[in-house]
Amino acid sequence: MKENMPARWWRKKKFARPRTSNSWRTLPRAIEPDDVNRLLRKRFTPRDKCMILMLLRSGMRISELLALRLEDISLRKHTVTIHESAKTRNGRITYLGEDACKAVRKWMKARKANTKFLLYARGETSMSYSTARSSFANCLRRARLVRKGYTLHSLRHTFASELLCAGMPLESLQILMGHSDIEVTRRYARLTDKALEKDYLEAMKIIERGAVDGSYRSVYQI
């Protein structure tokens, strides 16, 4: 209960500050499947399409994408190398789907700047967060999704939600997302019951076939 108290309350009452400072925070909204399809069907500029699919298929943070260099991407292997950052303190490898690779190839042909960054702005410097946010907001307007409350960060959370719904184990998702604590990853599991439903239905098929054998006695022995 103390964790939900405004800071001024626990200071005034001299309560100990909650250790789990992120426990009260909610995740940004994931994009609904129909809205994802609607967004991807729209024709955007090669740069914007590349930005959207890189975030949606790799799960990287927007700050990681904006710092991404051309040499960090291997379209042949479908991999992206994310280097150590001040936030994560460790690097990792994540992957790209075929549609994301296609978008990157198209952007590579369209881009003219001689810069090391995948995404760039005027002056051939890396793209700023405000520019990326403005570009995505324009994409949402064109797809008529502007009132849904989606943000750039929603793409990363959609990535996680979709993989969980497809049956990916939390431990694997943790690595792809770059979470140091699996409890952070576990928050995504609370957003959807699709993965749980899938596990239940698969287990129930085994039970209904009468394929469960052995004894439960050893399970309950103390």
pLDDT value of residue 208: 79
Query: What 3-state DSSP class applies to 57?
Result: helix
Element (H, E) at 173: helix 170-177
Do residues 188 and 27 make contact, with C-beta atoms less than 8 angstroms apart? yes
| Contacts of 153 by beta carbon, 8 Å cutoff, 6+ apart | 28, 62
92: β partners = 82
Strands of the sheet containing 73-74, edge to edge, are 73-74, 79-82, 92-95
The domains located in the chain, with CATH, are: 29-152 (1.10.443.10)
Query: What 3-state DSSP class applies to 92?
Result: strand
Do residues 47 and 53 make contact, with C-beta atoms less than 8 angstroms apart? no
pLDDT value of residue 19: 41
pLDDT value of residue 122: 77
Entry pTM: 0.74
Identify the DSSP state of 123: G
Tens-level pLDDT at each residue, the chain (222 residues)? 444 445 544 444 444 443 443 433 566 688 999 999 999 999 999 999 999 999 999 999 999 999 999 999 999 999 999 987 655 567 899 999 999 999 999 999 998 878 899 999 877 778 999 999 999 999 999 999 999 999 999 999 999 988 888 878 888 888 999 888 888 888 877 656 666 677 778 888 887 787 766 654 544 444
Please count the residues of the chain: 222
